[in-house]
C-alpha cells in the first residue's frame, strides 16, 4: 500500500487528534442549569465540585483553580517557595511543572528520568539535592504514578514538600491507593485532553489544613473572607497576602460535577484502548510499548511508542509526517523543558539530562481518548503498522 504522504489513500478520511473531550447532553444541561441559577461564579457548585474530587481521591481538602497551572502556582506558594529556593522536577513534562517555580522566584532543578518508566528517577533526585532544595514536583507522566514511596522517603529525610503533578493521572493507583493523597499536595488539570474537563480548570488535593487555607487565600487575591472582628465596619475584609484571581467559575464547576459521573467509565475505556495497543504493538518490530510497573495502575492519559530508530531507514520526523498524512494525529510529549529558548536563556545547558534528551528523539504519542470508536482504534493500528513496516530496514 502506498503511503498517503506519497499520494496513496490514507488509512482514514478524517483527522484523528491525540486527545479530545467527551461532552454529553447531561453536561450541557448542567451548565444551562447553572446559567439559570443566581450564581455563575463563586456559588455552591465550586464547593460541590471540590468535595466530589476530594471524595473520589480520598483527600480531606480540595481547592479548585482557573487551570492546572494556576493550581501549581498556588501549591508552590503554599509550600513557601521563594527567591533562591530550589525545586526539583522532571524535564519530561509540560513547562507548567517548572514554570510555577519561576513564578515564585525559585529555581527549577531538573533530575533525569528512569529509562523504563520515563518518570523522574528517585536516585537522580538524591544527586541534585542541595541545602537550598525546598520541594519536589514529580510528574505522573502519561498516567503512571511516580515511585512515591521512594520520593516521600527522600522528602522526609531532607524536609521537602512534595507537590505531585498528577495532570495525567486522575484515577490512577499506586500500590492500590488512588493518586491524590500520597504527596503533600496533588494537582489535577481539567483541560479538555485530560481525564475530565471543565474547559479550563485545575485543583489541588491535600490532607493539610494549613495548605488548604493558604491555597484558598492565594486563589482569591490573598483576601481573608473569614474575618471575625469588624471594628472598622461591616464592609471590612483584609488582604493579607499577594494573591491572584485564579478562581474557577460555577459554570465550569457544574460541568466538572457532571463529568465526574463519567470518570470511571472514561478511565476504563482508556485502559481498554491501551491494552489493545499493547497487544498489537508488542508484536510490531521497531517500536517499544510503554513499560508498566506492577504496583501501579495507570489511568493512561497518553500512549507513547518509543521508536528503535536504528531499525528504520528514516528518522522520527519522517515517520511522524507520514502518520499525519494518514490522518493519525500523532504528537510528541515532551521536548525536555530546559531545552526551550526561555530556559536556555536562564542558563540551562543541553546535556543536563542525557537519558531524557536521548529518549525524546525516539518518541511518538498516538491518539488515545475515551470517545474513540472501534474504527478509530483500528485505523491507528493500521496506520502505525503501515508506516513502520514501510520504513523498516
Ligand atoms: C496539562 C498539564 C498541566 C497544566 O494544566 P493546565 O490546566 O493546562 O494549566 C501541568 N502539567 C502537566 C504535566 C500537564 O499535562
Give the start-to-end residue ranges of the domains of the chain. 4-20+263-391, 25-260
Other CB atoms within a 10 A radius of the CB of residue 222 amount to: 16
Ramachandran category for residue 297: left, alpha or beta (phi over 0 → left; psi -120 to 50 → alpha): beta
- Provide DSSP, 170-215: TT-EETTEETTSSSSEEEEE--TTSSS--SS-EEEEES-HHHHHHH
What pLDDT, in 10s, does the model give residues 16-56?
999 999 999 999 999 999 999 999 999 999 999 999 999 99
What pLDDT, in 10s, does the model give residues 367-388?
999 999 999 999 999 999 999 9
What pLDDT, in 10s, does the model give residues 279-289?
999 999 999 99
93 lines ligand 1 (CB under 6 A): yes
Judge if pTM exceeds 0.95: yes
For residue 287, what pLDDT is reported? 98
Determine whether domain 4-20+263-391 maps to CATH 3.40.50.300.
no
19 lines ligand 1 (CB under 6 A): no
Q: Ligand 1 center to residue 69 CA distance, Å? A: 6
Atom of ligand 1 nearest to the CA of 200: 7
For residue 94, what pLDDT is reported? 98
Q: Helical H runs in the chain?
A: 25-35, 44-57, 68-78, 96-103, 122-128, 148-158, 209-219, 250-260, 263-282, 316-325, 341-345, 354-360, 374-391
Q: Ligand 1 center to residue 52 CA distance, Å? A: 20
Second CATH level (architecture) for the domain 25-260: 3-Layer(aba) Sandwich (3.40)
Q: Given a cut of 80, is residue 336 above it in pLDDT?
A: yes
Q: Ligand 1 center to residue 104 CA distance, Å? A: 18
For residue 360, what pLDDT is reported? 98
Q: Given a cut of 80, is residue 228 above it in pLDDT?
A: no
The mean pLDDT value for 294-307 works out to 97
> Whose CA is closest to 213, among 60, 55, 56, 40?
60
67 lines ligand 1 (CB under 6 A): yes
- Residue 367 has which C-alpha cell? 491518539
Do the beta carbons of residue 365 and residue 332 sit within 8 Å? yes
pLDDT > 70 in the chain, percent: 98
Give the sign of the dihedral formed by CA 18, CA 189, CA 370, CA 90: positive
What pLDDT, in 10s, does the model give residues 136-164?
999 999 999 999 999 999 999 999 999 99
What pLDDT, in 10s, does the model give residues 93-128?
999 999 999 999 999 999 999 999 999 999 999 999
The pick from 70, 97, 186, 304 for probing ligand 1's pocket by mutation, whose C-beta has the most ligand atoms within 8 angstroms, reads: 97
Burial 187-205 (b: 16+ CB within 10 A, else e): bbbbbbbbbbbbbbbbbbb
pLDDT-based confidence at 185, cuts 50/70/90?
Answer: very high
Rounded to whole angstroms, the Cα distance separating 74 from 184 reads 13
pLDDT-based confidence at 233, cuts 50/70/90?
Answer: confident
SS3 303: strand
**Beta partners for 189?**
202
Atom of ligand 1 nearest to the CA of 67: 7
Rounded to whole angstroms, the Cα distance separating 354 from 270 reads 31
191 lines ligand 1 (CB under 6 A): yes
For residue 379, what pLDDT is reported? 98
pLDDT > 90 in the chain, percent: 96
Kind plus residue range of the DSSP H or E element containing 161: strand 161-165
> Whose CA is closest to 250, among 74, 32, 21?
32
> Whose CA is closest to 115, among 380, 382, 358?
358
Atom of ligand 1 nearest to the CA of 68: 7
For residue 235, what pLDDT is reported? 78
pLDDT-based confidence at 366, cuts 50/70/90?
Answer: very high
189 lines ligand 1 (CB under 6 A): yes
Amino acid at each position: 500500500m502506498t503511503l498517503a504522504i506519497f499520494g496513496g489513500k490514507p488509512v482514514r478520511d478524517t483527522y484523528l487528534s491525540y486527545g479530545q473531550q467527551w461532552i454529553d447532553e447531561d453536561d450541557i444541561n448542567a451548565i444551562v442549569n447553572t446559567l439559570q441559577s443566581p450564581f455563575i461564579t463563586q456559588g455552591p457548585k465550586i464547593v460541590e465540585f471540590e468535595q466530589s474530587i476530594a471524595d473520589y481521591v480520598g483527600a480531606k481538602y480540595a481547592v479548585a483553580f482557573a487551570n492546572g497551572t494556576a493550581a501549581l502556582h498556588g501549591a508552590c506558594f503554599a509550600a513557601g517557595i521563594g527567591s533562591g529556593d530550589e525545586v526539583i522536577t522532571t524535564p519530561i513534562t509540560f513547562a507548567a511543572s517548572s514554570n510555577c517555580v519561576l513564578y515564585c522566584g525559585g529555581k527549577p532543578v531538573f533530575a533525569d528520568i528512569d529509562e523504563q518508566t520515563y518518570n523522574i528517577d528517585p536516585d537522580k533526585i538524591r544527586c541534585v539535592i542541595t541545602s537550598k532544595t525546598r520541594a519536589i514536583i514529580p510528574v505522573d507522566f502519561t498516567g503512571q504514578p511516580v515511585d512515591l514511596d521512594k520520593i516521600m522517603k527522600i522528602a522526609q529525610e531532607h524536609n521537602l514538600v512534595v507537590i505531585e503533578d498528577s495532570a495525567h493521572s486522575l484515577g490512577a493507583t499506586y500500590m492500590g491507593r488512588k493518586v491524590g493523597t500520597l504527596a503533600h499536595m496533588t494537582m489535577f488539570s481539567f483541560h479538555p485532553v485530560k481525564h475530565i474537563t471543565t474547559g479550563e480548570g485545575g485543583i489541588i488535593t491535600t490532607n493539610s489544613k494549613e495548605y488548604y487555607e493558604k491555597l484558598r487565600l492565594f486563589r482569591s487575591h490573598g483576601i481573608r473572607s473569614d474575618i471575625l472582628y469588624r471594628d472598622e465596619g461591616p464592609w471590612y475584609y483584609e488582604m493579607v497576602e499577594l494573591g491572584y484571581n485564579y478562581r474557577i467559575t460555577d459554570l465550569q464547576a457544574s460541568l466538572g460535577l457532571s463529568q465526574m459521573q463519567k470518570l470511571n467509565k472514561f478511565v476504563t475505556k482508556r485502559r481498554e484502548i491501551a491494552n489493545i495497543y499493547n497487544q498489537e504493538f508488542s508484536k510490531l518490530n521497531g517500536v517499544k510499548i510503554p513499560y508498566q510497573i506492577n504496583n501501579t495502575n495507570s489511568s493512561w492519559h497518553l500512549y507513547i511508542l518509543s521508536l528503535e530508530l536504528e531499525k528504520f531507514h528514516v528518522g522520527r520526523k519522517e515517520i511522524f509526517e507520514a502518520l499525519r498524512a494518514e490522518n493519525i494525529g500523532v504528537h510528541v510529549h515532551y521536548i525536555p523543558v530546559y531545552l526551550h529558548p526561555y530556559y536556555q536563556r536562564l542558563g540551562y545547558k543541553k546535556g543536563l539530562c542525557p537519558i531524557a534528551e536521548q529518549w525524546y528523539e525516539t518518541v511518538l504519542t498516538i491518539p488515545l481518548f475515551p470517545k474513540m470508536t472501534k474504527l478509530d482504534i483500528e485505523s491507528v493500528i493500521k496506520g502505525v503498522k503501515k508506516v513502520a513496516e514501510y520504513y523498516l530496514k
